[in-house]
Amino acid sequence: MISILDLTEQYRALKGEIDAAVSDVFANGHFILGPNVRELENAIAGYTACTHAVGLNSGTDALYLALRALDIGPGDEVITSPFTFVATTEAIGMTGATPVFADIDLNTFNLDPAAVENAVTPRTAAILPVHLYGRPAPMRRLLEIARPRGLAVIEDCAQAIGARVDGAPVGSLGDAGCFSFFPSKNLGGFGDGGMLTTSSAALADRVRSLRAHGGRVKYHHEELGINSRLDEIQAAILRVKFPHLETWTESRRAIARRYNELLSGTTVRTPEDPHEDRHVYHQYTIRTDRREDLQRALRASDIQTMIYYPVPLHLQEVHKPLGHRRGSFPNSELAADTVLSLPIYPELPADAQDVVADAVRRATPLAEV
């Protein structure tokens, strides 16, 4: 069986260090907001070229607290993509603000700036681009739309740690960057975790307060906060993994380049590598009109694939009150109907990749174009 993702190899390679780091936390007895969280925050702030990073419970909380700290709430609209994981709009909804969708560009799976511009209203408070699959959203153009209008920009970097736009790390381009350390992400812990990055001292300070029940001094509460702290055990594990992130990312990029070569000349549409930006290939996602046949054929060859995501957010039950229907965002709908993600992870062996590519080639003969 070739899995879409295999986390066991990474643990095998780092077992000694990870086990020791976790044992140290147990022995020290400091479990909440201790030295590991602080050191990881410093490391991520440096890596993302931001002056502040705040460790949180999850990527979802990073999005929610970024919006809260920017005073976005009831009556505000936040423009985002319908083709993303539900956490993006969940965070908007939790603040009381309204998610407003703009369609994607089918070639990049990211927000189409022209559609974003059309979606702006007097109630728009922020734009929330998602760097989907690890490919940076078109930040230059989105910032050109946001800045003159005084709109905040919050980056959903959950799938894109290490990605860059013209050399600038994602998470440093907007007002805040929101990262996830969910186990399957490019830098994953052994449970939930997240982080917010920003170069605004005021924003970082507000998020630090919000993550600890809305107060800066213990048992003194200024506003309604939540409990959302990255815990020391996760931070200790992530500190062991972090120094390997660049190597892992280069490995993902090499695997993606090789897939593109092996699949050229087939009828599937492979992801194009953006030249001036750095795509970190959280997913390697192709498009095909014959997805069901292809997925079935790969399953028969014991190859796991996934559909991220089969239902665009504007057609989800939870967003019914927004009043959208099929046809509202055609590119997102076509993406949801045709995408297929193939196995990719830094340790994926070349011979396993050959097996996947051969199976795709066999299942999509050129004659059937």
Which residues form the interface with ligand PLP (CB under 6 A)? 58-60, 84-85, 87-88, 130, 156, 158-159, 180, 182, 192, 194
Is the Cβ of residue 182 or residue 281 nearer to ligand PLP in the bound state?
182
Min separation Cβ 79 and ligand PLP, Å: 15
Nearer to ligand PLP, 202 or 318 (CB): 318
Q: How far is the CB of 230 from ligand PLP (least distance, A)?
A: 11
Q: Which residues share a beta bridge with 126?
A: 78, 152
* Minimum gap (Å) between residue 156 Cβ and ligand PLP: 5
Pairing of strands 124-128, 77-80: parallel
Residue 264 CB, nearest approach to ligand PLP (Å): 28
For the bound state, the minimum distance from the C-beta of residue 193 to ligand PLP, rounded and expressed in Å, comes to: 7
Give whichever of 112 and 192 is closer to ligand PLP, judged by the CB atom.
Answer: 192
Q: 139 or 360: whose CB is closer to ligand PLP?
A: 139
In whole angstroms, the minimum distance from the beta carbon of 160 to ligand PLP comes to 9
Q: What is the closest distance, in whole angstroms, from the C-beta atom of residue 359 to ligand PLP in the complex?
A: 26
Find the shortest distance in angstroms from Cβ 256 to ligand PLP.
Answer: 18
Residue with smallest beta-carbon separation from ligand PLP: 59
Toward ligand PLP, which CB reaches closer, 58 or 353? Answer: 58
Nearer to ligand PLP, 37 or 87 (CB): 87
Between 18 and 137, name the residue whose CB sits nearer to ligand PLP.
137
- Cα(309)–Cα(159) distance, integer angstroms: 14
Question: Of 176 and 294, which CB lies nearer to ligand PLP in the complex structure?
Answer: 176
